[in-house]
Amino acid sequence: MRLRGLILASVAATALIAGCTTDTGAADGTVADAKPATSSAPPPPPPPPMAESDQALQGIVVTGSGKDSRQEMGRMIPSPVIMAPPEPEFRDQYEDVESNPVKLTREEPVSTFSIDVDTASYANVRRFLKGGTLPPKDAVRIEELINYFDYAYPQPKAGSDPFSTQVAMMPSPFNAGRELIQIGIQGRHIDRDARPPINLTLLVDVSGSMHSEDKLPLARQAMKLMLEEMEPTDTVAIVVYAGAAGEVLAPTPVSDKRKIVAALENLRAGGSTAGGEGLRLAYSLAEQGLKKDAVNRVMLLTDGDFNVGISDPEQLEDFVSRKRETGIYLSVLGFGRGNYNDAMMQKIAQTGNGTAAYIDTLSEARKVLSDDLAGNIFPIADDVKIQVEFNPARIAEYRLIGYETRMLDREDFNNDKVDAGDIGAGTSVTAIYEVTPTGSDAAQIDPLRYGEAAKAGSATGEYAFVKLRYKAPGADTSKLLTYPVTDTNRVASIDKAPEWARFATAVAGFGEMLKGGEALGTGFGWEAIRELGSGAKGKDEFGYRAEFIELTRLAETADAQATLNRPSQEE
């Protein structure tokens, strides 16, 4: 309205100027003698005060007279524009991690790592791509991209271990002359009636940074979805933190859902962020309601902006680690953009024996907290570790794709005091190695001139030997499972590989491309990823795989745009 008033006042002023002059008369452009105009009309009212957004129009100068000046003014004054709110300052934080290097089997035949079931990286990458830009390379954790999808691995047999293991070997589409070894783990589904009760404490960030629609308002909606999947006997408590931490809701049975929803609806964002203090209070409340035969868990909902309280990552990890020993696990749900602290969230979720997910839409909230709630809440195996020993007679080199933040020392595998990842009910975990067969021209590391060749196994025997360790939830001692990788696991071409193996390979290639594509050959790119993924889409009940294929198109467009905007070497 202020802008409209300014325009009307300016037009009136122009008309007054025109009244004091004559129109142009002669065809040659000469002007007749001007006479003062008389008028009984009152002077125009002064324009209303201008807002800062309107003050840009003050610099307009009206020249000429009559009809010409009015036309000029129409050209110079812009139409009112609805201004979008400014983008938040980009202060996202990601851990700087180098990709796993190629290892020479004769020198280092054993690879050890902790499993990872987090999916935060995929949803965060999707958010960047749908915004038209490539994600930061450090935001891309390839294992989390791969593990976002359900590969329908066979369920474990009744009465056996809590998960089944699948191994496949196939030629690598990434680089000619190399192979892929894929290891898949499938956790056992549990019936809803067999679920243990849940003692859940929600720790909700209500600091000022959580004000935007994709943060606290979305978090409230996500929690309502989760309540629909919980049993009446489960309990929920709510703690908030901003400038100070406080208890909003004492442990309340889900049968009193209206009370829980009312508490969620009353949450408002404002203030600084005392994340560490909130954690202390949340764990204290969870300990008060601790149930021996229940799932006791704290769930942190935040954009990760810890700036008051325990802000040092090592101190936070130590605190969460001590609380983990009491049987209370920690999961983290990330929201929003601009100051998303991915590095902090990953560290405390891994230390707390929980999962880290990123919620960018209500659809993602439904996936994490409704469709996959059992896998994110109910653990079926703790401290799951994988160790692969490669046979140097058959495998010259190997490289683990992803899991850089989950690598363990060789001796950690047999040490039951070393923490590792956990598998939830119905969850699948996939790991992929790219290996170079002995004698292949695709080898990347030259042999030593003066080195003595290590003794190798049989050239017709196993490619590798896979070992897994896990603990039953709450147990102190681990169990060992072993699987040899032989010619029976290998197929002659990727076209003959199982559907799950082909789609996981496409996702792995997608991740490699987002990180720069240095590990990929020149013949493999966005189009090859799309073709491989489309050919292995299979049953896609919720459309996640179709969405992935569309993301490859968005990534290709963003990559091309980034290339155009990148300064040339000559510049």
Q: Over pLDDT 70: what percentage of the chain?
A: 80
Q: For residue 329, give every residue at least 6 positions away whose Cβ sits within 8 Å of its Cβ, in sequence order, or none.
A: 295, 296, 297, 298, 352, 353, 354, 379, 422
| Residue 323 CA to its chain's centroid (Å) | 26
User: What 8-state DSSP symbol labels residue 570?
Assistant: -
Other beta carbons within 10 angstroms of residue 554's beta carbon come to: 17
User: Does the pLDDT value for residue 167 go beyond 80?
Assistant: yes
Q: How far apart are CA 120 and CA 303, in angstroms?
A: 12
Q: For residue 549, give every residue at least 6 positions away whose Cβ sits within 8 Å of its Cβ, in sequence order, or none.
A: 530, 533, 534, 537
Q: For residue 564, give every residue at least 6 positions away whose Cβ sits within 8 Å of its Cβ, in sequence order, or none.
A: none
Give all strands of the β-sheet with 103-104 in edge-to-edge order.
103-104, 395-401, 428-437, 179-187, 163-171
Length of the chain counted residue by residue: 571
Q: Hey, what domains does the chain have and what are their CATH numbers?
A: 2-76 (no CATH), 103-114+132-190+380-443+457-540 (2.60.40.1230), 196-369 (3.40.50.410)
Please state, in angstroms and as integers, the Cα–Cα distance from residue 446 to each residue in 102, 203, 304, 437, following that order. 12, 53, 45, 14
CB-side neighbour CA atoms (13 Å) of 507: 35
Residue whose C-alpha is closest to residue 279's, from 325, 320, 220, 248: 320
CB-side neighbour CA atoms (13 Å) of 293: 3
Query: pLDDT digits over 497-512, tens only?
Result: 999 999 999 999 999 9
Other beta carbons within 10 angstroms of residue 198's beta carbon come to: 22
Q: Over pLDDT 90: what percentage of the chain?
A: 61
Query: pLDDT digits over 395-442, tens only?
Result: 999 999 999 999 999 999 999 999 999 999 999 999 999 999 999 999
Query: pLDDT digits over 30-77, tens only?
Result: 333 333 433 434 444 454 444 443 333 333 333 334 444 434 434 444
Minimum mean pLDDT range among 206-210, 302-306, 354-358, 367-371: 302-306
Once rounded to an integer, what is the mean pLDDT over residues 232-255?
Answer: 91
Please state, in angstroms and as integers, the Cα–Cα distance from residue 127 to each residue in 361, 416, 518, following that order. 9, 38, 24
Residue whose C-alpha is closest to residue 493's, from 106, 254, 42, 176: 176
Identity at 443, one-letter amino acid code: A
Contact present, 128 and 358 (Cβ < 8 Å): no
Give me the phi and psi of 198, to 5 degrees please.
-115, 130
